[in-house]
Structures are given as structure tokens and as C-alpha cells.
Amino acid sequence: MKLLFELSKEHNTLPKDEALSCLKAEEVVYNIVVSNENVLVIDSDTTYDKIERLAERLSFTFFIDELLFSCSTSLDEIKKCTKSNIIDREGSIAINYKNRSNSVDSQPIVRALAETYTKDNPVNLDNPDIEMRVLITDTNVYVGLKIVEVKRSLFEKRKVQHRPFFSPISLHPKLARTLVNLSSIKKNEKLLDPFCGTGGILIEAGLIGAKIIGSDIEEKMIEGCKKTLDFYKIEDYELFCSDIGEINNYISDVDAIVTDLPYGKSTTTKGENINGLYDRAFENIAKVLKKDGIAVVGLSNKNMIPIGERYFSLLKKYECRVHRSLTRYFEVYRK
């Protein structure tokens, strides 16, 4: 079965890399068929249960579909493909499309699909038995049958203003979930955020079934983080108040570390030079992360990236605008 991931395009590479990291975490065996900023198409014999699990994890994907066919935007080619790709399911159908092209007219494409696929299947736009998904780009059309939709509205409901305790500089839940997914953390594995603050990263890790551990130098953050985790009914967690230099007194051999390091502005560093703090942070998370474990780390400046390379191998790096005037640099390291 070929699976089509409709990517969100909120970043050039993060949506695709998040999907690939989730496939790894869920131990899905696959071959990549197509990979670009619009879609990821894989060939896999995975189960529907695992597909639903992927959808529960993902944040930068809209839908996972069973690919029916893909081709150029030529109407002749589209019509040819419809005749050789028949739907062998009975029931009503709806054709829903997303046009990401400014030059391709979607209506002739939809009509060409309808000519074939509504001939034997009645149209039901409100509650169809079969939902056909059509993604149109400048050069290609991807046609699939929806398997599952990613419930992205849930991330909006977990934004900071809806929590019992929060900081205005907290990451958006969608981005926090993506960072967690980039670690390829599995259910019941241990994930640490050693600068947990109000707990935004821990919430997202806990909701996908990780055993979460958080530490922070400020007691009020630990107390507030506990309120937040309890509010979201996350039970499998451990919190402690600690300077980053002492975390190995509390824990060891965690499977993944995901953290957004202090900015040095609007965040407490207890007067410590930011370069010195970052170096201590990397040194000490290296002590508690297991061999081959993944650390996903947010930095305030891309010039800080080499600090992490003193202790880890750099795998990926991403530049993200997280607030109107704030850009963060997220790196994926391996120990």
C-alpha cells in the first residue's frame, strides 16, 4: 500500500522530517516513493492501527491517505489515470481538494475525477463513505483515499492561554510536538527536558505515551509544571528542581532529550554568561543521555550550534520563527 502524507508546508523540511521520525519511532518498514515539501509518499505493508498511531503523533501533517495515483496536471493524463485506477469500494463519495498552485485551475481537474468516480458512487458531501483527497501543485496532482485526519485543532486548544500555569514565551504546542517527534521517542521510553519551564514539551511527550522527566532551576516552574501536567491528566512523570550541572545526581540513561535552552532575555540564567550556560548544558545532558540517544535542542543563536558539536554529532538543523520578533534554531544531535 502506498501512503500519502499531506504535509503542512509550515516549514521547508520539518514536516517531512517529522513524518520520517514518527515512522522510525513506530517501527514502520517502508520505502520512500516521493518526498518534497508538499507530500511524503511511502510504500509500506503497515497496519491501519499503526497509521492511526502516526496520526495521533503528527503535528505538521494534515491527512494520511491511501495513494490512488499521482501524475502531471495534464487533463489527458489525469483522465487516463482515472480509468486505470478504479475504486473497488461501494458507498457514497466526496471529492475534496487542496490547490497549492497559483497557475493550475482546480475545477477541470475535479470535474475529470468526478466523471469517473461518481459514475457508480453517489455523491455525499456531508458524510461520505469514501473521501477522495486531491492535492494539486504546480507540476503534479496527488489523488488518494483518506485514511485518517490529523486532529490539529487539539494543538490550538493546548496553547499557553488555556493552561493553568504558563509563560508567554512558551513554544506553540504544534512545534513542541514536532520537536518531540524528531527525537523518535517510543511509547514508554524516557524523555527528559532539563529546562522544562512550564512544561510545554513535556505535555506533548506525555500525550504520546513517553515517560517524561523534567527539571528546572526555579522551584516555581516545577510547581507550575506539575499543575499543567495534572491538568492534562498526564500521570507518568517525574519532576525535580536542579541546576543543569547536577541533573546526573537524579537521573541517568534517558532515551531522548528535548529542550529549548534559555534565551538569556526574558528568561533566568541566574546571571550566568549564556555561552557558559550552553556549554554546561550540553556537557551535562551528554552525561545522562544513553549511547546513540537523540537530543533535540533549541538555541537562541545559530553561532551556538558548534557548542553542541563538542559533545554530540549534529544530524539536522532548522531555523524557525517562533514569535513575531524571535527566531530559534533547533538542532538534532546524536550521542
pLDDT tens for 9-28 read 999 999 999 999 999 999 99
Instruction: Tell me what pLDDT residue 266 has.
Output: 45
pLDDT value, residue 27? 97
Helix (H, G, I), strand (E, B) or coil at 45: coil
Residues of the chain with CATH 3.30.2130.30: 2-149
Q: E strands, the chain, where?
A: 2-7, 31-35, 39-43, 61-72, 93-99, 130-136, 140-149, 190-193, 211-216, 237-241, 254-260, 289-299, 313-323, 326-334
Predicted pLDDT at 264: 62
CA atoms within 13 A on the CB side of 210: 31
CATH of domain 154-334: 3.40.50.150
Residue ranges, the chain, pLDDT below 70:
168, 264-271, 324
Read off the pTM.
0.93
Query: Which regions of the chain carry the CATH code 3.40.50.150?
Result: 154-334
DSSP string for residues in 254-317: EEEEEEE---SSSS--TT--HHHHHHHHHHHHHHHEEEEEEEEEEES-GGGHHHHHTTSEEEEE
Q: Give, in order, the Cα–Cα distances in Å from 308 to each of 284, 314, 326, 333.
A: 11, 8, 21, 8
Closest to 82 in 3D by CA, of 45, 30, 127, 120: 120
Residue 270 is predicted with a pLDDT of: 61
- The yes/no answer on whether domain 2-149 falls in CATH 2.60.40.10 is no
The pLDDT value given to residue 115: 94
Give the per-residue pLDDT at 42.
98
Q: Given this model, what pLDDT does residue 317 score? A: 96
- The pLDDT value given to residue 273: 83
C-alpha cell, 301: 543563536
